[in-house]
Amino acid sequence: MFTFAVYNYINDEVMPIPISLEDDKCFCTHNQNGEDEFQFELPKASEYYGYIVEEVKVKAFSNMFLVKKIEEQSDFVIVKCTLDFDDWYSQIYIDYRKTNINLPNVLATILPIGWSIQYGDGVNLTKRTTVEYQEGQAFRAATAKEILAAIADAYTVIFNYDTIGKVLSVLNIETYTPSGDYFIEDLNMSNLKFTGDSSNFITRLYVYGKKDDSTGQYLTIASVNDGKEYLEDFTYSDKVVCGSLIDERYTIPQHLKDYGESVLAEKCVPVRSYSFDVNNSDGKMYLYKVVTIVDKNRKLRLNYRCIKFVEYNNHSYDVVTLSSITPSIEGMFGGVSTAQSIMSSNLKTAEENIQSIESLVLGTLGGYFKWVLDDTGNKSEFLILIDATTIGQATKLFKLDNEGLKYSSTGYSGTYTTIINDSGLVVAASATYSDLQNKPTIEGVTIAGNQSFDDWNLVPLTDAEIDAIMV
């Protein structure tokens, strides 16, 4: 039997109410991002069911949880709980953005009252970088929990939480070494499932950091990497398969190189993962533990990391997922194919209005999407790049600003033709008054002064004609 406590009112006072269930009716899932979940199954007729309501606290597996979901079935109830993060949601930060700051200092700006920090081995406390919503953009109204996710991304660390003792643990899981534990099919694991994938495999990674606005050049690692702008790792294969990484948070070549090495280390070998049930467990499994798998079918003996651990009070029920992928890297980046950029997750994060624009133009115009900021950091222009991934290299692009939608075939600093303005007109450069007597075409019109639509006697273009112009 497993006993845990639900905190609810008894005689007008919040008290711990102990509940005992069969071992197979409750478990804790230790997820790779450190955010544990607790789940239990209760008979509908249970005397304790009346105490189970949303947001009550539950103490189990050495942590404090909150009830988030109650799913009632025919004769039983499934209750799902997440860690008690209320302290991390208790305050809003307006315009939060920190530049050139190290990890201890940035954590100090959002740490809730009563919480402390414990740093694990190998965590870089001197590395300085930027914490922001997306490139050049501050968090407008964010909780400490939301900012914490960006911090994990920026410093390549993982957080674990003791919500009873109020301790935030900061981990560098790359420092975890093989434990000496073995898993062998038919001995201490069963129901083995294997997946292998080399879709995102690369052996050479070109690494770029912050762009110099005056030169248009990106920071490289050449100065700390024997003059080369790329890293290589031929651990699995000696063939050259290229990928690239651009992360403008990095302004120091060595920090950029260290980051690139951690990314390449996970991309230079195929992605392989195993999931299985544990037999004869000694109860000493833990998240991020490095163990050795003996795969008899493939005649392999390899070290793998625990990236998910479903723990029961009776460890014979435990379920372990092992993978060759480092969770922090795989969680932050999408797949990388040959010659495809890996972008920082906070650059990939887009606001809903950007996503709606993308949904309209993807597949017809192609290209890439960029915000341009004014001197105060506010978005002033939205660019659709057609033939390059950077503003400086693009020759064909659309620009959307407060004057309308414009097109340039001579680069960002070139001559723009206004396509659509706030009057709904489709216009273009180099028109004469006589041109305006006729229906405007792509060679057509430019509007000057304060004349109205009626003054010019223009005829709006049809949707088909606009589509023809936009091609």
Q: Can you give the pTM of this predicted structure?
A: 0.58
CA angle centred on 309, ends 276 and 125, rounded to 5°: 135
Task: Report yes or no: 66 and 82 within 8 Å, Cβ to Cβ.
Answer: yes
Task: Report yes or no: 11 and 43 within 8 Å, Cβ to Cβ.
Answer: no
Q: Compute the distance between CA of residue 109 and CA of residue 76 in angstroms, rounded to an integer.
A: 45
Q: What are the structure tokens assigned to 260, written together?
A: 């690139």
| Residue 131: C-alpha distances to residues 99, 102, 315 (Å) | 6, 10, 40
**Max Cα separation, the chain?**
90
Q: What are the structure tokens assigned to 213, written together?
A: 């606005």
- DSSP letter assigned to residue 335: -
| Residue 101: C-alpha distances to residues 31, 172, 174, 236, 251 (Å) | 28, 18, 22, 36, 12
114 Rama class: left (phi>0) / alpha (psi -120 to 50) / beta? left
**Torsion, Cα of 95, 98, 104, 107 (10° steps):** 20
Task: Report yes or no: 17 and 48 within 8 Å, Cβ to Cβ.
Answer: yes
Q: Compute the distance between CA of residue 426 and CA of residue 412 in angstroms, rounded to an integer.
A: 20
Q: Compute the distance between CA of residue 255 and CA of residue 244 in angstroms, rounded to an integer.
A: 16
96 half-sphere exposure, CB direction, 13 A CA radius: 21
- pLDDT in single tens digits along all 471 residues of the chain: 999 999 999 888 999 999 999 999 999 999 999 999 999 999 999 999 999 999 999 999 999 999 999 999 889 999 999 999 999 999 999 999 999 999 999 999 999 999 999 999 999 999 999 999 887 889 989 999 999 999 998 998 999 999 999 999 999 998 998 888 888 877 777 777 778 888 889 999 999 999 988 898 999 999 999 999 999 999 888 899 999 999 888 888 998 998 899 899 888 888 777 777 766 566 778 899 998 888 777 777 778 888 888 999 998 888 888 776 433 333 323 333 222 333 333 333 333 333 433 333 333 333 477 777 665 556 778 888 887 777 777 888 888 888 788 888 888 877 777 677 765 566 554 443 344 344 333 333 333 333 333 333 334 445 565 455 444
Residue environment code for 362-381, b if the CB has 16+ CB neighbours within 10 A, otherwise e:
eeeeebbebbeeeeeeeeeb
Neighbour tally for 17: CB within 10 Å = 18
> DSSP alpha helices (H): ranges in 66-188?
103-108, 144-155
Task: Report yes or no: 28 and 61 within 8 Å, Cβ to Cβ.
Answer: yes
- DSSP letter assigned to residue 134: B
Q: Which residue has the tokens 């303005």?
A: 421
- Contacts (Cβ under 8 Å, ≥6 apart) of 274: 192, 193, 194, 293, 295, 304, 321, 322, 323
Residues making up the chain, counted from first to last: 471
Task: Report yes or no: 191 and 320 within 8 Å, Cβ to Cβ.
Answer: no
133 half-sphere exposure, CB direction, 13 A CA radius: 14
Neighbour tally for 431: CB within 10 Å = 17
- DSSP letter assigned to residue 347: H
